[in-house]
């Protein structure tokens, strides 16, 4: 059964998005699903339509409702006269059909299995077909990610670690050809950051900003606002586990 995957890169490069949002076209037996159309952009809309050409699109999927992934989904779906699918509504996005853990989306001769992977955001989904996984912002190519709920994020990573995977197609950055190595690195990286947060507190850091200054001293300061969100997620996890006092 033939599967073809193409990338259309959104023109939204930046410190938080890397080269831009990856919009993925997954084709099977002449049918296509579009995954993560990205931000509102006439140029990107035209690029997606040009890449699709005369082929039949069956649906538009979003991994989560952040502004660099979902807003173009409804306009694109209307243009193509197909439904837009996602886990929940969000800013500039309203799903025609809500997807949950275990839902499936068919395209041509294959089925995409929906995996709910909260952590980066509560509404985050990954899409699995065979041994190929579309990861949105749960795993990026070449970098770590901002996390809202650290406990959920690590559990979601462990869920993906249990899968037999050949390749990851992330929302930003290049394709990942060694999935298990990268997932293991993600888990180890987060646990290392957790230890660094604990060490910063032991050395006298008293709030999120001072922890960021201590732990992310060698990271571009333009990324510190995102780092602060991940530090806050680490603190909530440590509080819930009773490892630091709630203050």
Nearest of 66, 20, 15, 72 to residue 48 by alpha carbon: 72
Tell me what the mean pLDDT of segment 188-215 comes to: 95
- According to the model, what pLDDT value does residue 51 have? 98
Residues 99-118 have a mean pLDDT of 96
Q: What is the CATH number of domain 3-177?
A: 3.60.15.10
The CA distances from residue 113 to 86, 118, 189, in Å, are 13, 16, 27
Residue 148: pLDDT band by 50, 70, 90 thresholds?
very high
Which residues touch 225 (CB under 8 Å, ≥6 apart)?
Answer: none
Is 179 a residue whose pLDDT tops 70?
yes
- Using left for φ > 0, alpha for ψ between -120 and 50, and beta otherwise, residue 219 falls in beta
Locate 120 and state its tokens: 């980066």
Question: Residue 41 has what pLDDT?
Answer: 97
**Contacts with 171 (C-beta within 8 Å, 6 or more apart), sequence order:** 21, 22, 36, 63, 68, 69, 135, 136, 137, 140
Cite the residue boundaries of each domain of the chain with CATH code 3.60.15.10.
3-177
* Mean predicted confidence (pLDDT) in 126-155: 95
Which residue intervals of the chain are DSSP H helices? Answer: 42-52, 73-80, 150-161, 179-202, 208-215, 224-240
CA distance 85 to 29: 21
Condensed to tens digits (0 to 9), the pLDDT of residues 192-203 reads 999 999 999 999
**Is it the case that residue 247 has pLDDT exceeding 70?**
no
Average pLDDT of span 211-234: 92
What does DSSP assign to residue 221? G
Mean pLDDT (whole number) for 62-77: 98
The arithmetic mean of pLDDT across residues 151-168, rounded, is 97
- Asked whether the predicted pLDDT for residue 1 surpasses 70, the reply is no
What's the pLDDT score for residue 37? 98
What stretches of 29-162 adopt beta strand conformation (E)? 31-35, 56-61, 84-86, 97-98, 104-107, 110-116, 125-129, 132-136
Question: How do residues 31-48 score in pLDDT, each as one tens digit?
Answer: 999 999 999 999 999 999
Q: Over 70: is that where the pLDDT of 177 sits?
A: yes
What pLDDT is stored for residue 121 in this prediction?
96
The reported pLDDT for the residue numbered 143 is: 85
167 pLDDT above the threshold of 90: yes
91 φψ region: left (φ > 0), alpha (ψ -120 to 50), beta (else): beta
What average pLDDT score do residues 65-85 get? 98
């Amino acid at each position: 059964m033939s599967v073809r995957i193409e990338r259309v890169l959104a023109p939204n490069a930046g410190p938080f998005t890397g080269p831009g949002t990856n919009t993925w076209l997954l084709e099977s037996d002449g049918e296509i699903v579009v995954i993560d159309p990205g931000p509102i952009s006439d140029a990107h809309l035209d690029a997606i339509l040009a890449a699709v050409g005369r082929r039949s699109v069956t649906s538009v999927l979003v991994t989560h409702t952040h502004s660099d992934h979902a807003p173009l989904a409804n306009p694109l779906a209307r243009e193509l006269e197909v439904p837009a699918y996602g886990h929940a509504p969000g800013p500039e996005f309203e799903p025609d059909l809500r997807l949950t853990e275990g839902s499936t989306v068919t395209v041509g001769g294959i089925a995409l299995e929906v995996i709910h992977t909260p952590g980066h955001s509560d509404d985050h989904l990954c899409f699995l077909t065979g041994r190929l996984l579309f990861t949105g912002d749960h795993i990026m190519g070449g970098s770590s990610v901002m996390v809202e709920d650290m406990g959920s994020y690590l559990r979601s990573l462990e869920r993906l670690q249990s899968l037999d995977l050949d390749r990851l197609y992330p929302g930003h950055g290049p394709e990942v050809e060694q999935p298990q190595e990268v997932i293991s690195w993600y888990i180890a990286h987060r646990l290392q950051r957790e230890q660094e947060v604990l060490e910063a507190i032991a050395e006298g850091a008293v709030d999120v900003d001072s922890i960021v200054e201590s732990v992310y001293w060698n990271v571009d300061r333009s990324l510190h606002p995102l780092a602060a969100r991940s530090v806050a997620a680490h603190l909530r996890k440590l509080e819930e586990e009773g490892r630091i006092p709630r203050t």
